[in-house]
Structure 1
Amino acid sequence: MKIPFLLSVVVLLFMSCRTNEKPTPVFEHDLTDGPTPWTSDVFEMEEKDFTFAIISDLNGGEREGIYSTAVEQLNMLDPTFVLSVGDLIDGGTEDTLQLEKEWDSFDKRTSKLHMPFFYLGGNHDLTNPRMREFWKDRFGPRYYYFVYEDVLFLMMDSEDFEEQRMMEIYKARAEALKIINGEIEGVYEESDYYKMPERRLGAMSNAQLGYFKSVLEKYPEVRWTFVLMHKPLWMREDDKGLGKLEALLSARPYTVINGHFHSFSHQVRNGRNYTMLGTTGGSQQESDSLAFDHITLVRLTNPPTITHLKMEGILNEMGNIPEGSTQLSKE
C-alpha cells in the first residue's frame, strides 16, 4: 500500500519536529518528605552541555553588598543552577531568633536569582547542635545528593562531628573569639581552638560515608561526579577525612571543590582536580593575592570546563559592576 505524498510529507515533518525537541531535564534525589535544601526543582530546557555556577564563602566577616552584586551577575550569566560551598550566614549562636534573622536576610537576597540555588553548610552555618536542628527544620538534610542530566553531585557536610565533640569545638571557638575581640587575655594561636584539626579540616562521620557509598553504588556510570564541601576533608588523613570516599570514587571521573580558606588554590590529587575557592563576600587578607571575590562557572563538556570569573570583571551592558556593591576590594 502506497502512502499518499501529502501524508508522507506530514509524517516526515512530524518526525523532524520530534527529533529536534529538547528532552526534559532529569533531576533525581532521595528526599520524599519535609523541607529540601534547594529553592526550586524547575529547570530551563537546554542541551546536555549545561552550565552551573558556584559561589564561595560569604562569611567569616561578610563585606556588605558583595553577595547582592553576585546575585545580579549570576542572573546576567544565566547558569542552569547555582551551588554553594557554605558559610552563608555569620551564625555561631544558639539564639534561634538571631539565626532566623540571618537566614531570612540571606534567603531574601538569594530569592532574586532566576534559577535554582542549592544550599550547603559550612562552619558558620552548622556551629552547634541547635544550628543543626535549625538547618534541618528549614532546609532538610545536611548532606545529600542529586543527579542532573546524568551528572552526579555529592553535597557534603564537613561539620559532621559527634555532638559532644561539636560542643567542645563550639565552646573553644567562643573562647578564641573573646581573645580575638580583646574581651579576655590570651594569644589566639595558643588557644585550644586554634590547635584543633577540625578548625581547618572538618570531619566526616561513618554515617555520611555510608550514605554516599550507597549513592555511588546506585549511580556507577554517570558521566561525571562533583564533590562539594566546605572544609577540605581531603586534607585530613585519618578515618574522618575523605580518604575512604576517594577510594570509592577512584574508578570514575570526578572533581572536588571546597571553600573555607578564603584563598584560591588548585592542585591535582589522585589524577583529579581539587579546587579551593576564594570568596563571594567573605573576609580577605590584604596581603593574600589569591584572596579575591569570584563566581565559578562549570560547563559540562568532557572533561568539564571550569572558569573562575573575578566579580570585578563581570560588567553589565554599560560597562559597570552591577549596582549593589561598593566594596569589591579587600578591607
Structure 2
Amino acid sequence: MTILQASRYAGEVWYDDVRFQTDKRPWFGQLREIAAGDFTFAVLGDRCGMATAGVFEKALEVVADLKPDFVLSVGDLIEGYWKDAADARAEWEYIDEKIEATGLPFFHVVGNHDYGNQVMLDVWRERKGFDYYAFRAGDALFLVLNTEDPPTELSDEFIDMIKKATYNVQNDPEHMTAHMQAFYDDIVSRMSPEQLEGMSRIDLALSDEQMAFAERVLEENRDAKWTFVSMHKPGWKSENERYNKLIGLLDGRPHTIFAGHLHAMEYSVSGNGEHIQLGRTGGHAHGEGPESDNVLLWVNVRDGKPTYRVMHLDGIGEIGSYKPQTHSQEAKK
C-alpha cells in the first residue's frame, strides 16, 4: 500500500492531493496564524436529521458574537439523501450562506446525511473538494476524518420513510412526537429483526487512503502537544478495525475525539484520550434529558491543554425578551 504524502495548503493545512485534485475546500475563512499559546474554538453538533428550524442559525449567531478563533462541525448539516443533485445543492446553498456570513473560519466534517449516496458524494466533491484533511493551530493538531468513506447507501424504501417523517416534523412541529412515533412504527412494521438490529450498530467506513493519510499526518506532527480528531460517527462505540488502528496511532498522545450522530451529549475518558459525543444543534432529540438539549461546545486551549464548557442554547436569551416590570413596595420588602 502506498503511503500518500500529506500536502500543505494555506500554510498549515494538509490534504491528500494524490486522491483529490481540486481547488475546492471544505472550510470557510482563513485560520489566523496561531504560532503557539492559547486559543479558543467552538464545536457544533448535528443540525439534521429532522432539523428544528432556526436552532443551528441561533448557534451561528452566538459564535459570531463570541468570536472564537474558529468553528468545527461534526457533520450532518443538511437533511440530504437526495436523488436529485439540485435538491442537495439547494440545501447546501442555504446553510453555507449562513455559515459564511459569520465571518469565522468554519471547518466542515462529513456526516451520513451530507454524504449518504453517490449523488450526495458528487455534490460534496463539487462544492467542497475533499472530505478528510488536517491542520495545525499553534501546538495542537486537528485531524478531520470521514466516517462515510465510502458511503453506505440506504434502500429507496427507507429513504422515502425518512423523507416523509422529515416533511411531517418540519411542517407540523407541534405534533412532532406523534410524527416520530409514526416513523418508528413504520420502520418496525417494514423491517426484519435482523435489519432492526443492524440499524442499532455504529458502522464506520474509513478507506485505506484515508488511514494512510492519517498515519502520515500523525507521524509528521509528533511535536503536537494535543491532538484533536473530529469525525461524525463515534468510533469508540463501533467494532471497526480501522478505528482501532487509529487509536493505536494515537497511543501516547494526549488527544480528544469529537463525534456526533446520536444527538446526545456525552463525555468519557479512555487512557490518555477524551471522547466527546456532541449533542444536537438543531437535529431531532433522541431522548428527554439535558444531554438531549440543543447545545454548542466551547473549548479553551491554555498552555496546550483544553477545557470545555457546554452551552445550552435554550438557556441563551435575547436581551429584548426581558421586559420592564412594575415592582410594588410590598414586593421589595
| Aligned positions of 1:66-105 closer than 5 A | 66-105=55-94
- Distance change in 2, residues 1:43/1:238 (3 Å): closer
Residue of 116, 133, 154 corresponding to 1:144:
133
Is 1:127–1:170's contact at 8 Å kept on the other side of the alignment? no
Is 1:145–1:154's contact at 8 Å kept on the other side of the alignment? yes
- SS of 1:279's equivalent in the other structure is coil
- Aligned counterpart, 1:248: 249
1:150 shift after superposition:
2.7
- Superposition RMSD on alpha carbons, in Å? 2.8
- Aligned counterpart, 1:4: none
- Distance change in 2, residues 1:308/1:201 (3 Å): farther
Is 2:31–2:105's contact at 8 Å kept on the other side of the alignment? yes
Residue of 299, 313, 325 corresponding to 2:315:
313
- Aligned counterpart, 2:44: 55
> Which ranges in structure 2 are unaligned for 5 or more consecutive residues?
1-9, 166-181, 323-333
| Aligned positions of 1:182-261 closer than 5 A | 187=189, 190=192, 193-196=195-198, 200-240=202-242, 242-261=243-262
TM-score by length of 1: 0.79
- Distance change in 2, residues 1:184/1:287 (3 Å): closer
AA matched with 1:27:
E
> Structure 2 CA distance, aligned partners of 1:308 and 1:134?
33
> Structure 1 CA distance, aligned partners of 2:55 and 2:124?
24
Is 2:109–2:145's contact at 8 Å kept on the other side of the alignment? yes
- Number of residue pairs matched by the alignment: 291
Is 2:202–2:237's contact at 8 Å kept on the other side of the alignment? no
| Deviation sequence 1:112-171 (CA, Å, 0-9, x none) | 21211111111100100221111111101111111121311111111123x6xx33x454
> Structure 2 CA distance, aligned partners of 1:160 and 1:230?
12
TM-score by length of 2: 0.78
- Aligned counterpart, 1:293: 294
| Larger-Rg structure | 1
- SS of 2:65's equivalent in the other structure is helix
1:303 shift after superposition:
2.1
1:288 shift after superposition:
3.5
- Distance change in 2, residues 1:106/1:194 (3 Å): farther
- SS of 2:119's equivalent in the other structure is helix
Is 1:257–1:275's contact at 8 Å kept on the other side of the alignment? yes
Name the stretch that deviates more: 34-43 or 273-282. Answer: 34-43
> Structure 2 CA distance, aligned partners of 1:296 and 1:184?
34
1:182 shift after superposition:
9.3
- Aligned counterpart, 1:303: 305
AA matched with 1:76:
D
Q: % of aligned pairs identical?
A: 31
